[in-house]
Structure 1
Amino acid sequence: MVIGSRHLRLAAGLSAAAAAALAAGLALAQVAHGQDDRETHPGKAVYDQSCAACHNAPEAGSRAAPLASLRKMSAQTLSTALTSGVMKPIGDQLTREQLRQVVGYLAAPEAPVGTAWIDEAMCPADRRKVELSAKPAQIGFGVDLENTRRMSAAQAGLKTKDLANLEVAWAFAMPKTSGLRGQGVVVGDTVFYPAGQANHILALDTQTGCVKWATPTEAQVRNSLAYGRLGKDGPLGLVGGDAQGNLVALDAATGKLLWRADPRHDKTAPLSGSPLIHDGKIIVPISGSDVGAAMRPAYECCKGHGAVAAVDAATGKVLWTWHTMEDAKPLGRTNAQGVAAYGPSGAPVWSSPAIDVKRGVVFASTGENTSPPATKTSDAIASIDLATGRQNWVFQALENDIWNMSCPVGVDGSRPPGANCYFAKDGSVLLDHDFGAGPVVFRGKRGKDVILGGQKSGDVWALDPANGKVLWRRQFGKGSPLGGVHWGIATDGVRVFAPISDPNVPKDLSAAGMHAVDVATGKVAWQWRAEPDCEGPRAKVTICANRYGLSAAPLVVDGAVVAGSLDGRLWVFDAATGKVLAMHDTATTAYQPVNKIPGAGGSIDAAGVFAGGGMLFVNSGYASFGQAAGNVLVAYRPKGAK
């Protein structure tokens, strides 16, 4: 059992209600056995047989969460992963009783919360109205259609000097949660937020954190919310992708569910990246699931592939789909277990796309192939016609990168290939160097626009938007499956900012930190190297010595760049010089959440930072990949502000 992949999903096979019921049963089993008798717990034998090989001592760079991290996860999180998420191939080998036992053995203690975590924080009746007349601070993950992650002082309600002088205004804790992944949208005095594992979308007051409305969702909404008009005459709404692969659309004013629709060509594929709403369409990135399922030797690897779909914003009806490749076919060979092999597969689109309205183009980026034959669309950036879904061009950064989680990393990896890495000696580079950062449309002077991309290889690319021709390339470090540029880049209109994570990479080879490149010339403008800090209170951050780089997507606000690190520190840099203006430790701060349930910070990853209404918001806690668990949305304001 390997829990911690970016591809966690809820696929067909177990309804949301059934999954919830199983989770409840598992939690009850856990409570019945208690947490002090784990050595005699019946779930220990199941864990030892099915999970321990990967989780007791994960290799450096592994996606597998260590046992200590698993024990911070809720019964619901663990049961979802095993019954219909990334670990379903392992869960399928267990009986229902074994599932109950292993989750009871692993899961963190839980007190019943019901809706108290919402009820305790409801706004006074006269402050519950959601006013949508203001221009939104952002429309989704990328802030704007062009995915720049850039905000003016007016948009954010914050100036550079404010960001150098912040204090915690409030924190909101999510129950049954070990990690926060999606960012919210701020409109006026309301922040709309996907509460992740708590299975709700919330409308909170930006200044106090009190709840204006809370809408339960059938499954976890994992990605960042998108905001816009849902159809020509439709309401202003919110859209997010849930763990069952459905788009969920809500009326932003009331939280009412408007529709729920499945845009996927492959009903096992997760919706990992965030959608975009524009001119009656919703552009939806579609990821893949085979990368984790391939760990099971009996799995027919591999059949899924990535895509981008456009759906009608009023109904969720699919208008067109761009596929990263043709459907997989039998390859006429078997793996070491005699199981039929399929391909091509992979090239998931798990990052967030950009829309170039001027050119009528969607730009999307892809990940590695998961089985042969290698395609020209893996580890790539694609230009897609916005109106029709036809492909204009594809730029491939790395050829023949075929990899799944049964493979070692690199041809000289530390472990031998598994059954579904049967292609390891056929010439694959086995690097898993996806484009984790979605493309950015950079508007240059005198019409010299550039498409920017960030790759897990540590590369930052600049491409000609007309044809995908490389204008320049800069590499920071050597990259790794969880290193290099992981979740996103940002620009201030002059420079592009590339955060490098490089977890567990030896210090002399690591480029962990922030790197600024002048877009016009491709020359490095400045660099800041992250350093571990395990002194004093930070000693309790158990990952502090080897996971201190910057993995979450950064955010530009006025003349500052804000970025979160894997060890829970929030950094504020001067965009022009790289000078550190401020640092806040979200992992060791003691919080008193407004909703009166326990809250603690941890790693900052994925969509870690967003802003609006004079506030800076930070997701603190991300237990995937063996990182530090946490469950708080932290709101910062300038000191002295009210």
Structure 2
Amino acid sequence: MRGISGGQFARGRSGLGSATRRDRRTGMVQGETMRVWKQFAVAGAAAAGLGLAAFGVGGLANAQATDEAPHPGKAVYDQACAACHNAPEPGSRAAPVSALRKMSAQTLAAALTTGVMKPIGDGLDRRQIRDVVAYLAAPEGPQGTAWIDDNRCPEGQRGVDLSAAPAQVGYGVDTDNSRRMTAAQAGLAGKAAANLEVAWSFVFPRTSGLRGQGVVVGSTLFYPAGQAGYVVALDTRTGCVKWATPGGVRASLAYGRLGKDGPWAVVGGDGEGKLIAFEAATGKVAWKVDPRHDKTVPLSGTPIFAGDRIVVPISAIDVGNAMRPTFECCKAHGAVALLDAKDGKVLWTWHTMEDAKPLGRKNSQGVEMYGPSGAPIWSSPSVDLKRGVIYASTGENTSPPATVTSDAMVAIDLKSGQQKWVFQALANDVWNMSCPVGSPTAGRRPPGPNCFFAAEGSVLRDHDFGGGPVIWRGKSGKTLILGGQKSGEVWALEPATGRKVWRMQFGEGTPLGGVHWGIAADAARVYVPIADPNVPPEKNAAGLYALDPLTGKVLWSWKAAPDCDGDGRKARVPSCAGKFGISAPPLVVDGAVIVGGLDGRFYVLEAATGTLMATYDTAVPFQGVNGLTGAGGSIDAAGPFAGDGMVFVSSGYASFGQQAGNVLVAYRPRR
């Protein structure tokens, strides 16, 4: 059946329109919309995932102290958790306790035993873990699989037709990471994106953020509902479920064939570091492997098919583990692995550095220190199949000695795994979450025990590349490698040598600002989103910029602005005044650029001029076609994507103190 969102949405040529009219499917009016929003917040229907970014989730306390005695988990929390979570510093990845309390018991337990908080969990016994989980956990959301089963497609409409070319093959749309789609690929003209309406919404239980993008093939949308614990295949036009398979894929999906004669599949990494291949036709798990060189490093970025092989980016988690004073900081580092698509066998692994060794020194707590470490790969690489080269980008070092591979773009030979070149954008950026950002003498907090190197030359910036490199191909045959950095800088490099061609910077950058999750490009322009959350107005560069790829010259700019007025928006998005920039990567569709904002709005701009053509608000309540009531929130990490004549938005991202949400929203051209 075809459904319409129960939440109101706003659109306009230059701003938000009215959201007060009655929804023709559910009958909601503005007052009812706010009531549902409040119910969503109080019920704690959202629960966070296990990635480092998921240190930030929003919610309401579940456990209350009784008149007789405090909850036994409170003492555990006070001892092991309160120092980081009671009052996180601005810019910290640690969530406030009110945010942790929106996590499900399952998520909290997994985080403490196998996930990002394992270093804390290792210091607790089983009873303490059980007590602190019970103290923090949000009320359970819907039980069982009714949210899937009650929305199954009719028996005769569950088939998955894979005869059409995919609208995208992964996070970057194509192997160039261009995030560019033609009208034929998207199934709609760019101008149509300026006149959209909600076709349906799908609400995910036990979810506070949607970190991944889907893949569209024909009339099927494959989507990673990581926190809900499933990968689902949905009908693009109605949102009904064709298949649903357990498997909590954390990030986005990649689409390709499992060997030259194998089945078509979608592939993604789960919260335990396994790479899982799901047969696209049926959802059957074809294989599940662990491609990591170190069991302590996660899979955060999206893999990409390179013919009958799969390129897998590998990140590292010690940047967060270092918050614990007794943690042996730091050992983990990033890597790229190449797998045989047929069975997931690892063919080679390129490492961002050698394995860490004892440094012969101890921190202030008497704990042995290790290095080098870090340079994780958070993003999806790009692949030049003709030249046989993989391009990847890295993050900062987390302990010394600094390496030349941190905050860098790297070229790797596809066949052998040998490094071809490294371009380092910022040297000596050694940083972890025990450190201040920048010099501690400038009024910032002093370094913690695992920032023992703070006075030894590190710039302490955390200005990594969060998005993968883009292979730009001009009409004249010119090729460049483009990348955006959290410093606000954009770089263009020669593909054969890594030599810098040009550099441009917007704002000053922050650990969560500048270019956060990536850029986009077409033949004429490169589109640069700037996030800059909570940066003062005089320094804030939040918005979108179009550059000449050959020279770096700014062709046009569009500045994002906060909107906390009217329609209860301040209540729905409390962070709206400071977090309104563009963190998720843009999507270019046939002359239009679609960008999602940290405050839940998304925008459609004319690619040639930067003229704002439409604004839509997803940070509103929704009644999903699968029977659940939910709400949208921040758009981050997963950018808008399109296919089969539709635009899809993953609304909700509770990390970093942003607005929780649990809704995939499908838009179609207005009829």
Shorter-chain TM-score range: over 0.9
Letter in 2 for 1:636: Y
Query: Is the contact between residue 49 and residue 207 of structure 2 (CA under 8 Å) also seen in structure 1?
Result: no
Counterpart of 1:232 (choices 260, 271, 293) is 260
Cα shift at 1:94: 2.5
Cα shift at 1:280: 1.0
Query: Is the contact between residue 306 and residue 385 of structure 2 (CA under 8 Å) also seen in structure 1?
Result: no
Counterpart of 1:141 (choices 171, 188, 191) is 171
Cα shift at 1:9: 9.6
Cα shift at 1:4: 9.1
Counterpart of 1:202 (choices 232, 235, 242) is 232
Deviations 1:307-363 (A, max 9, x none): 100000001000011111111111111111111111111101111100012211000
Deviations 1:95-147 (A, max 9, x none): 32222222222222124420111011100001100000001000000000100
**Equivalent in the alignment of 1:18:** none
Cα shift at 1:51: 2.4
SS at match of 1:599: strand
SS at match of 1:197: coil
Query: Is the contact between residue 54 and residue 654 of structure 2 (CA under 8 Å) also seen in structure 1?
Result: no
The answer to whether structure 1 residue 614 and structure 2 residue 642 are counterparts is no
Counterpart of 2:157 (choices 127, 132, 145) is 127
Query: Is the contact between residue 329 and residue 343 of structure 1 (CA under 8 Å) also seen in structure 2?
Result: yes
Q: Are residues 39 and 205 of structure 1, via their aligned partners in 2, closer, same or farther at CA, if it must alter by over 3 Å?
A: farther
Query: Is the contact between residue 147 and residue 627 of structure 2 (CA under 8 Å) also seen in structure 1?
Result: yes
Counterpart of 2:632 (choices 601, 610, 628) is 601
Query: Is the contact between residue 301 and residue 342 of structure 1 (CA under 8 Å) also seen in structure 2?
Result: yes
Q: Are residues 5 and 405 of structure 1, via their aligned partners in 2, closer, same or farther at CA, if it must alter by over 3 Å?
A: farther
Q: Name the CA distance, whole Å, in 2 between partners of 1:212 and 1:538.
A: 35
Query: Is the contact between residue 4 and residue 623 of structure 1 (CA under 8 Å) also seen in structure 2?
Result: no
Q: Return 568-577 or 179-188, whichever deviates more.
A: 568-577
**Paired residues for 1:525-564 under 5 Å:** 525-536=555-566, 537-540=568-571, 541-564=573-596
**Equivalent in the alignment of 2:296:** 268
**Equivalent in the alignment of 1:340:** 368
**Equivalent in the alignment of 2:623:** 592
Q: Are residues 222 and 4 of structure 1, via their aligned partners in 2, closer, same or farther at CA, if it must alter by over 3 Å?
A: closer
Q: Name the CA distance, whole Å, in 2 between partners of 1:547 and 1:5.
A: 23
Deviations 1:66-112 (A, max 9, x none): 23322332222222222222222222222322222222222221244
Q: Name the CA distance, whole Å, in 1 between partners of 2:530 and 2:313.
A: 23
Query: Is the contact between residue 8 and residue 81 of structure 1 (CA under 8 Å) also seen in structure 2?
Result: no
Q: Name the CA distance, whole Å, in 1 between partners of 2:49 and 2:446.
A: 21
**Paired residues for 1:85-104 under 5 Å:** 85-104=115-134
Q: Are residues 234 and 70 of structure 1, via their aligned partners in 2, closer, same or farther at CA, if it must alter by over 3 Å?
A: same
Gap regions ≥5 residues in structure 1: 11-29
Counterpart of 2:107 (choices 72, 77, 82) is 77
Number of equivalent positions: 615
**Paired residues for 1:323-472 under 5 Å:** 323-412=351-440, 414-472=444-502
Cα shift at 1:54: 2.4
Structure with more relative contact order (C-alpha pairs < 8 Å, separation 6 or more):
2
Q: Name the CA distance, whole Å, in 2 between partners of 1:459 and 1:112.
A: 44
Deviations 1:156-215 (A, max 9, x none): 011122100001110111111111001010000000001111111100000000000001
Query: Is the contact between residue 52 and residue 116 of structure 2 (CA under 8 Å) also seen in structure 1?
Result: yes
Query: Is the contact between residue 8 and residue 85 of structure 1 (CA under 8 Å) also seen in structure 2?
Result: no
Gap regions ≥5 residues in structure 2: 1-47, 56-60
Counterpart of 1:515 (choices 509, 530, 545) is 545
SS at match of 1:445: coil
Query: Is the contact between residue 49 and residue 226 of structure 2 (CA under 8 Å) also seen in structure 1?
Result: no
**Equivalent in the alignment of 2:665:** 634
The answer to whether structure 1 residue 301 and structure 2 residue 329 are counterparts is yes
Cα shift at 1:267: 1.0
Letter in 1 for 2:595: A
Q: Are residues 334 and 260 of structure 1, via their aligned partners in 2, closer, same or farther at CA, if it must alter by over 3 Å?
A: same
SS at match of 2:163: coil
Q: Name the CA distance, whole Å, in 2 between partners of 1:573 and 1:9.
A: 30
Cα shift at 1:65: 1.7
Q: Are residues 111 and 275 of structure 1, via their aligned partners in 2, closer, same or farther at CA, if it must alter by over 3 Å?
A: closer
**Equivalent in the alignment of 2:15:** none
% identical aligned pairs:
68
Q: Return 121-130 or 512-521, whichever deviates more.
A: 512-521
The answer to whether structure 1 residue 192 and structure 2 residue 237 are counterparts is no
Counterpart of 1:7 (choices 30, 33, 52) is 52
**Equivalent in the alignment of 2:608:** 576
SS at match of 2:547: strand
Query: Is the contact between residue 5 and residue 624 of structure 1 (CA under 8 Å) also seen in structure 2?
Result: no
**Equivalent in the alignment of 1:26:** none
Q: Name the CA distance, whole Å, in 2 between partners of 1:446 and 1:465.
A: 16
Q: Name the CA distance, whole Å, in 1 between partners of 2:176 and 2:400.
A: 33
Query: Is the contact between residue 236 and residue 251 of structure 1 (CA under 8 Å) also seen in structure 2?
Result: yes
Q: Name the CA distance, whole Å, in 1 between partners of 2:116 and 2:313.
A: 18
Q: Name the CA distance, whole Å, in 2 between partners of 1:78 and 1:618.
A: 27
SS at match of 2:476: helix
Q: Name the CA distance, whole Å, in 2 between partners of 1:76 and 1:545.
A: 33
Q: Name the CA distance, whole Å, in 2 between partners of 1:246 and 1:329.
A: 26
Counterpart of 2:554 (choices 524, 529, 534) is 524
Counterpart of 1:502 (choices 532, 536, 543) is 532
**Equivalent in the alignment of 1:13:** none
Cα shift at 1:483: 0.7
User: So what's the TM-score if we normalise by structure 1?
Assistant: 0.93
SS at match of 2:622: coil
User: So what's the TM-score if we normalise by structure 2?
Assistant: 0.89
Letter in 1 for 2:353: M
**Equivalent in the alignment of 2:34:** none
Cα shift at 1:492: 2.0
**Equivalent in the alignment of 1:310:** 338
Deviations 1:505-529 (A, max 9, x none): 1111111111111112210111111
**Equivalent in the alignment of 2:316:** 288
Query: Is the contact between residue 608 and residue 620 of structure 1 (CA under 8 Å) also seen in structure 2?
Result: no
Q: Are residues 4 and 180 of structure 1, via their aligned partners in 2, closer, same or farther at CA, if it must alter by over 3 Å?
A: closer
Counterpart of 2:655 (choices 610, 613, 624) is 624
Q: Name the CA distance, whole Å, in 2 between partners of 1:37 and 1:560.
A: 59
Deviations 1:35-90 (A, max 9, x none): 99899433333333332332232222111222332233222222222222222222
Q: Name the CA distance, whole Å, in 2 between partners of 1:191 and 1:481.
A: 33
Q: Name the CA distance, whole Å, in 1 between partners of 2:141 and 2:278.
A: 30
